[in-house]
Amino acid sequence: MKALGQRYVQHVNRTYRRSGTLWEGRYRSCLTQEETYLLACQRYIELNPVRAGIVDHPGEYRWSSYRANAQGEHDALLKPHPLYNALGMDAAARQAAYRELFRYQLDPGLVDEIRRATNGNYALGNERFTAQISEVLGRRATPGKSGRPSKTVESEPAIQGYE
């Protein structure tokens, strides 16, 4: 099976002019503050095929959940999130509210923020949320400052005779 898998990956790499393992660099994720970012992340994901020029509208992309969330198409793989359910009192109201979210493009700053968090595996949320995540994980959950750390120079006592 290992040899078969290796040959398959070689075939895919030659066919699509790529290199590396089959799933290399394909999966990225980040912890997300639901209340603030969940629906924005859904919009970001469902608009990816539009930004990539694959389709003109997210509902045209075969693998998108847009048709279920915005148009009521049944998808047995999806379970609505409570924040999606809070968009309206019934299915028609939720779908209309969800479609309304797509009337405008995502703010480019928000897109950059989502990409930075996802690519760096950082927490996506406000300062309080990221601080809580840092504490729970026991590591930094936000990007650090680039460059070398600044060194605080304290005044050293003068050596006698070399003042």
Distance from C-alpha of 20 to C-alpha of 10, rounded to nearest angstrom: 9
pLDDT at 157 over 80: no
Model pLDDT, residue 33: 93
Domain boundaries along the sequence of the chain: 27-137
Q: How far is CA 137 from CA 123, 132, 155, in A?
A: 11, 9, 37
CB–CB of 118/32 below 8 Å? no
pLDDT at 121 > cutoff 60 = yes
> The pTM is what?
0.72
pLDDT band, very low/low/confident/very high, at 70 (cuts 50, 70, 90): very high
Q: What is the pLDDT of residues 14-65, one digit of tens each?
A: 998 888 887 766 678 889 999 889 999 999 999 999 999 999 999 999 999 9
122-154 pLDDT per residue, tens: 999 999 999 999 999 998 888 877 777 666 655
